[in-house]
């Protein structure tokens, strides 16, 4: 099965060969996906060898171009679920930021496994979309020729359209981590779980099977 977060960042390897431009808060979800993916793909195309030798440089690019389009705190709250009840907002924000850093650190270099823009297809919007929540559907073709659905769930916030969940082959990133982290918090408490996450010592199944 596709590793959920690898697939999430694989989207950023590109879709249609559009001219480089900056996504902004007025863009719709499909435009954000296409624009951001082309920006990151262009960087990799120019500096693939540099990124292969310097994975921290690729993580920096991912943070710069992708994070503005992710509702990190909202997603973090969803991952925490009931475990966030009674927790100070600053701690919830720290948790959300630490989780996003963990995912970037583990999977940014997975982008280099994808070689062409043609491995990602962005499908037209359809189904249960409205002015507040929208799902952008994509199909990822792996190097072995197999394809898998990777869907990006957006919500409209004060900052515009932002991603808050990724669904890979029907499995939600938010639900996957909520189950694992919720159990960890029940066993060891929120503060201990947060400290382990921030230090990189929290063991999470980010491959999803």
The pLDDT of residue 77 is 95
Residues paired with residue 149 on neighbouring β-strands, in sequence order? 139
Give the residue from 41, 111, 43, 99 showing the smallest Cα distance to 70.
99
| Superfamily holding 4-199 | Tgt2/MlaC (3.10.450.710)
The pLDDT of residue 58 is 85
Q: Cα separation of 126 and 209, whole Å?
A: 29
The pLDDT of residue 91 is 96
The pLDDT of residue 131 is 74
The pLDDT of residue 127 is 66
The pLDDT of residue 128 is 62
Q: In what side-by-side order are the strands of the sheet with 120-122? A: 120-122, 133-141, 147-157, 160-168, 171-172
The pLDDT profile of the chain, 209 residues, written as one tens digit per residue, is 445 445 444 444 333 333 334 445 457 888 888 888 778 778 888 888 898 898 888 888 888 888 888 899 999 999 999 999 899 999 999 999 999 888 777 667 677 777 766 777 888 777 666 678 899 888 888 778 888 888 889 999 888 999 999 888 888 889 989 999 999 999 999 999 999 999 988 877 765 54
- Residue 3 φ/ψ, nearest 5 degrees: -70, 125
């Amino acid at each position: 099965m596709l590793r959920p977060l690898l697939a999430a960042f694989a989207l950023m390897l590109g879709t249609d060969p559009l001219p480089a431009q900056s996504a902004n808060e007025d863009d719709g979800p499909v435009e954000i996906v296409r624009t951001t993916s082309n920006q990151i793909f262009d960087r990799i195309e120019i500096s693939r060898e540099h990124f292969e030798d310097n994975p921290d440089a690729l993580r920096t690019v991912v943070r710069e171009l992708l994070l503005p389009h992710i509702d990190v705190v909202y997603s973090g709250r969803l991952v925490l679920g009931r475990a966030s009840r009674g927790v100070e907002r600053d701690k919830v924000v720290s948790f959300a930021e630490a989780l996003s850093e963990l995912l970037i650190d583990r999977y940014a270099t997975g982008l280099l496994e994808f070689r062409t823009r043609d491995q990602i297809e962005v499908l037209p919007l359809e189904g249960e979309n409205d002015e507040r929540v929208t799902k952008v559907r994509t199909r990822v073709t792996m190097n072995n020729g197999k394809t898998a659905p990777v869907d990006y769930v957006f919500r409209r916030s004060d900052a515009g359209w932002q991603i808050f969940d990724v669904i890979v082959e029907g499995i939600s990133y938010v639900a996957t981590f909520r189950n694992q982290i919720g159990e960890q918090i029940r066993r060891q408490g929120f503060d201990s779980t947060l400290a382990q996450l921030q230090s990189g010592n929290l063991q999470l199944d980010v491959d999803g099977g």
